[in-house]
Amino acid sequence: MNVGIIGCGFIGDELAKFIDKNNEFKLIGLNDIDKNKSELLIKRLKSNSPKFMNYNELIKSSDLIIESASKSAVGDILKNKNLDKESKKLLIMSTGGLISNLGLLSKIKNCVIYLPSGAIAGLDAIKSVSNRIKYMSLTTTKPIKALEKAPYIIKNKINLKKLKTKKVIFYGSLSDAINGFPQNINVAATLFLASKFKDIKVIIVADPTTKLNTHEIICQGDFGRITTRTENIPSKNPKTSYLAVLSAINVLKNLKNNVNIG
């Protein structure tokens, strides 16, 4: 299976190294807004010899396209004329980018799209009750470094460095959370896409004493109550948990499995 990766940050780098060691995949192309990142990654790979490609070339030549760039890249990929083919598969890491492109997503008829569960434990259970949910909330707690430079923090002039204990810095809707914290809130976007529940309450907590990314989900309806909590170790990129990488690798492993659980 020919693979192309768009976005060569931490996640793209880790997935490229996994593919490089797996004989079932061949990494043929890389793309990043910073071409140097792509070229440095190519030099670190051992068995594959991918080349830098533009969007058109990469999507046209790849059986599997992996997006690990940013939410702004998602719309450009969905709009590409070479994507919607029966032979194509698309793995999206920046699920927040789908919320503002639901119209484009609905037009995709042939390409198979994969969204890793990432940091959401119990996603299969939430999917099973998607039309029966009456209340849902997501409380995300992150270290200071993970929240710095978020548009919401800058706009509201929040000085995170002054915090001594954990504090709620945001309480609001999914759309406002995605706009205010575009690099922190893929969990909320995936939760919406699985649940189809529009009124998710999103709470974001800054905690200067923690090193973990914590996500607590409460989901209620006539079926009962689902409560999950995950505590994830951040990757080298403080805005990303390593569990996101492991979840994506699991999707890749399952592509050719004839038994899938969940």
Here the tokens at position 227 are 């409560």
**Would you say 63 and 3 are in contact if contact means Cβ atoms under 8 Å apart?**
yes
**Would you say 219 and 152 are in contact if contact means Cβ atoms under 8 Å apart?**
no
**Would you say 96 and 175 are in contact if contact means Cβ atoms under 8 Å apart?**
no
* Catalytic residue (choose from 215, 238, 248, 252): 215
Length of the chain (residues): 262
Closest residue by Cα to residue 212 from 116, 119, 92? 119
95 is catalytic: no
Q: Where are the beta strands (DSSP E) in 21-111?
A: 26-31, 51-52, 64-67, 89-92
Helical axes 242-254 vs 10-20, angle rounded to 10°: 40
Which active-site residues does the annotation give? 215
